[in-house]
Amino acid sequence: MARSIHLAHPVRGPVRLGLVILAFVVLIPLVGLAVLSAVFSPGYLFRWAVWQDADVGDYARFPARPVEQADEPFTLEVPNDPAAAAASVRSALEASAPVGTDAEAFLERTGTQAFIVIRDDTVLYEGYFGGFQRDSTATSFSVAKSYVSALIGIAIQEGAIRSVDDPITDYVPELLERDERFADIRIGNLLDMTSGLRYEETGLPWGDDALTYYFDDLRALAVERTEIVEPPGERWHYVNYNPLLLGLVLERTTDTSVSDYLGSRIWSRIGTEFPASWSLDHEGGFEKMESGINARPIDFAKLGTLYLQDGSWDGERIVPEDWVAASVDPSVDGAAPVYPDSFHQPYGTISHQRYWWRIARPDGRYAFTALGNHGQLVFVVPDEDLIVVRNGREYGISSFEWFGVLLTMADELSDTEDADA
């Protein structure tokens, strides 16, 4: 019998193989997403996949809790000659190599949205770039941590929290159910980034950076996912679980939301001109303690003024004076963990305590700053009574380079003032 010839069949094998490969290419990611959704949550996975990296538009994406402004706003003074004051700031900026010969071109180039320079309660320079305006909302990112620090200090002053030496398990005892070593972690360890907790920045959905930023149940994350990998107090390691745990402490000891505590204890008492908000993990939920205070740049400056005045505002004590000193003055004894080598810079030695960055300069002077992702800064030079607020879409230059630029600017402004005297 003659063998039949089926012209369509010789390609059946490759087609079937292609379909199998296509099925694996499509199904494996779908199965992976389904597993991740089950392990974490669909809402979190959506945020991670669709929103991608954190950016300055996130204040509009997350739900938020409002924070009311002051009843009597404090308005900063204007110099006698605003044009000359602004010119002096531009000239002082241009003394730094990264800036070059055109300060405002540099600010534009680095993705700066707002740049404000204040000395002696007088605005020397106030510039906005890239469509940003005075009443535009900027998100703080980790500048929020400096407010968290102030709130912890206030809660201790009020007796809600006993001391920075208290074990975290005095306030979050359920941590002991997973690991008895949590009793060794103190409030101060969480504030100084020496908790010994695991923290991995992988960029993947199971990475700690993504989880602490996008997860939609941060209370559960703080209690259930934290893991001890080394003894507390020994090594500085930036861990965003630390402020989440402190947020639980604040909630439980003050019997109010962290946003309301910020509003009643700080925001409404320091002359803020605009309302603010604090982004939440979900509607009606928990504050994104590691980031997400949303406000106008001019009001972020009030935090610098508060700390420049040792925690007082218009004669009223807001933050304990000794708390401010321990936070921002490198000469005050505190934790002495092992820091990265990069903390030693030509302009000074950087340290980090109670969620403030401090710079001890070679000549004995110092500066301090709140610092957030994409180069959000509230930078203070006490000897010059100088405050700089910088908000940006991106860093443009590294954080430590910004420190150097602003210190050089402060020195140049001081020299100009001396020459004019």
Render pLDDT for 118-168 as a digit per residue (tens, 0 to 9). Answer: 999 999 999 999 999 999 999 999 999 999 999 999 999 999 999 999 999
Contact residues for 105 (Cβ-Cβ < 8 A; gap 6+): none
| pLDDT average, residue stretch 17-23 | 55
3 band by pLDDT with thresholds 50, 70 and 90: very low
Rounded CA-CA distance 58/177 in Å is 35
> What pLDDT score was predicted for residue 250?
98
- CA distances 405 to 89, 93, 96, 402, Å, are 12, 7, 6, 5
- In eight-state DSSP terms, residue 49 is I
Global confidence as pTM? 0.91
| pLDDT average, residue stretch 377-386 | 98
17 band by pLDDT with thresholds 50, 70 and 90: low
Residue 215 has pLDDT above 80, yes or no: yes
CA neighbor of 383 nearest in space, from 353, 399, 360, 400: 360
Residue 212 has pLDDT above 50, yes or no: yes
pLDDT digits (tens, 9 = 90+) for 316-345: 999 999 999 999 999 987 767 899 999 999
Q: How far is CA 114 from the centre of its chain?
A: 17
Residue 37 has pLDDT above 90, yes or no: no
Task: Answer for the pair 392, 379: CB distance below 8 angstroms, yes or no.
Answer: no
Q: How far is CA 304 from the centre of its chain?
A: 15
User: How many other C-beta atoms can be found within 10 angstroms of the C-beta atom of residue 166?
Assistant: 15
Task: Answer for the pair 380, 304: CB distance below 8 angstroms, yes or no.
Answer: yes
| pLDDT average, residue stretch 38-42 | 76
Does an H or E element contain 114, and which?
strand 112-119
User: How many other C-beta atoms can be found within 10 angstroms of the C-beta atom of residue 129?
Assistant: 18
Rounded CA-CA distance 276/21 in Å is 52
> What pLDDT score was predicted for residue 16?
53
- CA distances 281 to 205, 236, 238, 304, 355, Å, are 16, 27, 21, 27, 21
Rounded CA-CA distance 127/112 in Å is 9
pLDDT digits (tens, 9 = 90+) for 289-309: 999 999 999 999 999 999 999
Burial of 110 (0-12, 13-18, 19+ CB in 10 A): buried
The packing angle between helices 321-328 and 297-308, to 10°, is: 110
* Phi, psi for 302 (deg, rounded to 5): -65, -30
5 band by pLDDT with thresholds 50, 70 and 90: very low
> What pLDDT score was predicted for residue 38?
55
8 band by pLDDT with thresholds 50, 70 and 90: very low
Mean pLDDT rounded to a whole number for the chain? 92
Task: Answer for the pair 374, 385: CB distance below 8 angstroms, yes or no.
Answer: no
- In eight-state DSSP terms, residue 21 is H
